[in-house]
Structure 1
Amino acid sequence: MVATSAAGGGPGPAGTGDTGRRVGFRSDRGPVLAAVMLSTGLVALDSTIIATAVPSIVGDFGGFAQFPWLFSIYLLTQAVTVPIYGKLADSLGRKPLMFLGIGLFLVGSILCGVAWSMPALIVARAVQGMGAGAVQPMSMTIVGDLYTVQERARVQGYLASVWGISAVIGPTLGGVFSEYLSWRWIFYLNLPLGAVAAWALARHFTERVTRTRHRLDYAGAALLTTGFGLLILGLLEGGVAWRWLSAPSVLILAVGVLALAAFLLVERRAAEPVMPLWVFGRRVLIGGSLTALCVGALTIGLSSYLPTYAEGVLGASALVAGFALAAMTVGWPLAASLAGRIYLRIGFRNTALIGGVFVITGAVLTTLLGPDSTVWAAAGAAFVLGVGLGLTASPTLVAVQSVVGWDRRGVVTGANMFSRSLGSAVGAAVFGAIANATLAHRFAHPPAGVRGQLPRHADASSAVLGGRGGSTEPAVAEYVRRSLYLATHHVFIALAVLAVLGLGALALMPRRSEQLTFD
């Protein structure tokens, strides 16, 4: 397979590594990189814009206990499709899969915009996730194809700027649409952006692909989806739809575990496994995957519950809550850009360990947020955590890409993205279970002053979300706010614990991984 620009070009220049597989001339790569940045922007904007709209969506549809599904189902379908796309990319090429991903993402966006209930919106988010499962890893893989390890330090800054711009525009637009127009516009906004991204990619990037026949691992994909789907179902609905130790809860979780065990057996024998087990056979790859798992969970935890804390506890508007969340997604790309320079000097592992310290600090700061804290304090904690994630995620991904050749880069990139998406999906379920359990307990045992005025489930939280607090009795609203504070506080404590575990995952990476032979 040879990747070239639309303007033409021959084999890659000497010193780029994958001779005959890269864009021919350095000047040709600019338009291709711009197209990749636009495609990345499609997912990046959606990642930052929806979090601030969740309280408004809950205010319209109700279903606070179900809102973690908006993240979990999206991330689950993204996670289970990422390794499939990664494998297909190494045989069919990057471009057709990028087009497929953009198309699915836009169809899902339309369905989200016209959703009439929380279940309908959850299904639409699943379609979006299948599209994002192609866009994000294909963007990373194309960059890995076009640029050497040394050049990627600079390119990481360009890609990080996409997230930086989205970090400012996304939460701001999400807050504006939710407060002054409709949250539905956050999904319709994807349509022009996706059209421009597809046009730019079609115009500036072509591939000469030697197509090979391949066998998709349908059994592995089905078992993987079933296993994690049941685990997420059990975590999110346990203690809400049924008791934790009830027969449905035990059965669902047990079948989920058995499905994942069967998945491992199938992958050992499959001719073309959806997740080759060799990607977990080296310390760099294992450490990178576990780190990505923690990064995904930390990101979704803060993104899901910081806006809820700002709006439901502090009484901030959706727009202000968006700015608080934007602090994390501003700190991340700034740190990722800086990481590109640092890891060339002190190595991938040391750079990521510095990031891990920032992650722990930011997570601890979130646990110190109280019911009377300021939005500035919440934004500061989010910024510090974002800096840590930027210093952690970027060098670990480049390290993983740099220890394999071109023909395996799509697989390892897909595996790393799978781990991050899986961490986000499971993290959303675990954090949702923590919040729901706290709220369910609070609403089942209210004080005498509000007894009889609260339903016995988490949907009572809509009393202070989505602008509905004005029609609620002050005592009830105050009790719900206090309950939301405790729910989010418990989630923030879980984030701090996870941050410490993430530092342990980084320690698994070899000390001198930066001196391995790069492609």
Structure 2
Amino acid sequence: MASRDPEKSDAPIAPCPVRYPEGVRLGLIIASLAAAIFLCALDETIIATAIPRITDDFKPINDIGWHGSAYFLTFASFQLIYGKLFTFYPIKTVFISSIAIFEVGSLVCAVAPLSGIFIAGRAIAGLGSAGINAGFIIILATRLPLERRPIFVSSYSAMYGVASVVAQLLGGAFTTHLTWRWCFYINLPIGAAAILLAALCLQAPPLSSSQEAPATSWKTNLAEMDLLGTAILIPGMVCLLLALEWGGSLYSWSSPPLIVLLVVLGVAVVRFVGIQVWKQDKGTMPPRIIRQRSVACSAIYVFSAGGALNVFQYFLPIWFQAIKA
């Protein structure tokens, strides 16, 4: 019987195994991610302690809602866009840029002479935080094998838990003994450390030959960013925030300004959904993903848990300091 020529075998060639970082390099990657997430968590929680003093300095009490909402507006609007940026461009560059944007926002808040500038700084910080949070999951997914990911993903919640405790203590110490501006200056050295660690340890993700994607032009990448959907989503969210901010306080819920805001919000939502259906997988929220039961239920859970958490994390400290004091 003639032996079969191995060079002419029809058996598929096994792809080269993926080599993930180990040892010191993996430790530095985790340290960089932990520092970046701690930075975001600290900023989200420390401001609640500082808001009464911030309001005393800036005076306009009507802006108090925007001190937190401006951050979450850009955070929610751009987090999905960052997912595509991490796909099309080097992960290291996008992640470090996100931390740098967050640092710029923190610096603007720290030196802001007016409430409007402070709110702009919060919006810039939220833009950077969106990239940091998206990058955390993506970097872990590309640097760790599947069986090890849950252990390290849990560090995300751990950093938020630690920051929620530390932030209240630091915020109280800064506002009492120094100035509320140190609540934002403290972000600068932490962010610098995260950038340094990321610059040293983050490299191109390990890919097998079957995972290598062909290069695409910047025009193709730009078309898949769904900038139109984002341009519709942001004004709709602004209308929602304004309606919630003004309703029942500055205007009655049946007043023309509130009705206009709610109508614009409804139109924006309908148009955004239409754009996603039209663009399918090239949209910000592909319908085939949203239709998955696990994804839809997870989104509802996070929405509900986030709303409940912010009551305790953000409004409760303000209530105790400004009303019960």
TM-score w.r.t. the length of structure 1 is 0.54
1:177 maps to 2:174: yes
Partner of 2:251: 242
Report the CA distance between 1:26 and its aligned residue.
5.9
* Alpha carbons 2:91, 2:135 under 8 Å: kept: yes
Q: Distance in 2 between matches of 1:122 and 1:263?
A: 26
Report the CA distance between 1:157 and its aligned residue.
4.3
Q: Distance in 2 between matches of 1:115 and 1:197?
A: 24
Partner of 2:263: 254
Q: Which amino acid aligns with 1:253?
A: L
Partner of 1:115: 112
Q: Which amino acid aligns with 1:155?
A: F
Report the CA distance between 1:255 and its aligned residue.
0.8
Partner of 1:220: 229
In the TM superposition, what are the counterparts of 1:28-427 in structure 2 within 5 Å? 28-207=25-204, 211-213=215-217, 214=221, 215=223, 216-270=225-279, 272-315=282-325
* Alpha carbons 2:137, 2:153 under 8 Å: kept: no
Question: CA 1:175–1:259 in 2, change beyond 3 Å: closer, same or farther?
Answer: same
Unaligned segments of structure 1, at least 5 residues: 1-17, 316-519
Q: Distance in 1 between matches of 2:103 and 2:269?
A: 31
Partner of 1:395: none
Report the CA distance between 1:19 and its aligned residue.
7.5
Report the CA distance between 1:20 and its aligned residue.
5.6
Question: CA 1:20–1:194 in 2, change beyond 3 Å: closer, same or farther?
Answer: farther
Q: After superposition, what is the alpha-carbon deviation per residue over 1:277-333, rounded to whole angstroms, capped at 9, x for unaligned?
A: 222111111111111111221222211221123223442xxxxxxxxxxxxxxxxxx
Question: CA 1:19–1:198 in 2, change beyond 3 Å: closer, same or farther?
Answer: farther
Unaligned segments of structure 2, at least 5 residues: 1-14, 206-211
Q: Which amino acid aligns with 2:104?
A: V
Question: CA 1:143–1:168 in 2, change beyond 3 Å: closer, same or farther?
Answer: same
Report the CA distance between 1:171 and its aligned residue.
1.4
Report the CA distance between 1:51 and its aligned residue.
1.2
Q: Which amino acid aligns with 2:173?
A: V
Q: After superposition, what is the alpha-carbon deviation per residue over 1:185-230, rounded to whole angstroms, capped at 9, x for unaligned?
A: 1111111111110010010111168543312212111001111111
Partner of 2:6: none
Question: CA 1:223–1:28 in 2, change beyond 3 Å: closer, same or farther?
Answer: same
Report the CA distance between 1:61 and its aligned residue.
2.0
Q: Which amino acid aligns with 1:301?
A: V
* Alpha carbons 1:22, 1:145 under 8 Å: kept: no
Q: After superposition, what is the alpha-carbon deviation per residue over 1:103-161, rounded to whole angstroms, capped at 9, x for unaligned?
A: 11111111111212222211211111111110012112212233345423422444444
Q: Distance in 1 between matches of 2:251 and 2:119?
A: 20
* Alpha carbons 1:102, 1:194 under 8 Å: kept: yes
Please give the secondary structure, in 1, of the residue aligned with 2:203.
Answer: strand
Please give the secondary structure, in 1, of the residue aligned with 2:204.
Answer: strand
Report the CA distance between 1:22 and its aligned residue.
5.9
TM-score w.r.t. the length of structure 2 is 0.85
Q: After superposition, what is the alpha-carbon deviation per residue over 1:43-63, rounded to whole angstroms, capped at 9, x for unaligned?
A: 121122111111111222233
Question: CA 1:123–1:30 in 2, change beyond 3 Å: closer, same or farther?
Answer: same
Q: What percent identity do the matched residue pairs reach?
A: 29
* Alpha carbons 1:92, 1:212 under 8 Å: kept: no
Q: Distance in 1 between matches of 2:272 and 2:111?
A: 36
Higher mean alpha-carbon deviation, 74-83 vs 301-310, is at 301-310
